[in-house]
Amino acid sequence: MMTNVRVQLLRGLQATNTTAFVHRALAYSSTITIEKQGRAADGKNIMALMDLYVQENDHVRLFTHGDDEALAHTRLRSFLQGGELENHRHMDLEG
């Protein structure tokens, strides 16, 4: 699967957000790839992702391929768009 995504994470994929993304990606058996301006990185490799220098409002392509690609794609796209992260922020404030 492939989708174009506008990254809506505050500060983009800096260290904290990249670590959170990779942690989520590692939960899936599918291959996860992020592409920005023709450069691709393994979505399960922190250093490779940080090397793409993805900032807030950048457009990237999210690729998933494998047995659980649909679920991985949906959840990782949501994370990049800020949805899942926002839910965790609210839980942290309430808990």
Pick from 1, 10, 3: nearest CA to 77? 3
Per-residue confidence (pLDDT) for residue 93, from 0 to 100: 41
Per-residue confidence (pLDDT) for residue 84, from 0 to 100: 64
Q: Could you tell me if 64 and 73 are in contact, meaning their C-beta atoms sit under 8 angstroms apart? A: yes
- Give the pTM: 0.86
Q: Could you tell me if 81 and 60 are in contact, meaning their C-beta atoms sit under 8 angstroms apart? A: no
From first CA to last CA, the distance across the chain in angstroms is 36
Paired strand residues for 32: 64
Per-residue confidence (pLDDT) for residue 90, from 0 to 100: 38
pLDDT 10s digits, 1-58: 999 999 999 999 999 999 999 999 999 999 999 999 999 999 999 999 999 999 999 9
pLDDT tier for residue 69 given thresholds of 50, 70 and 90 = very high
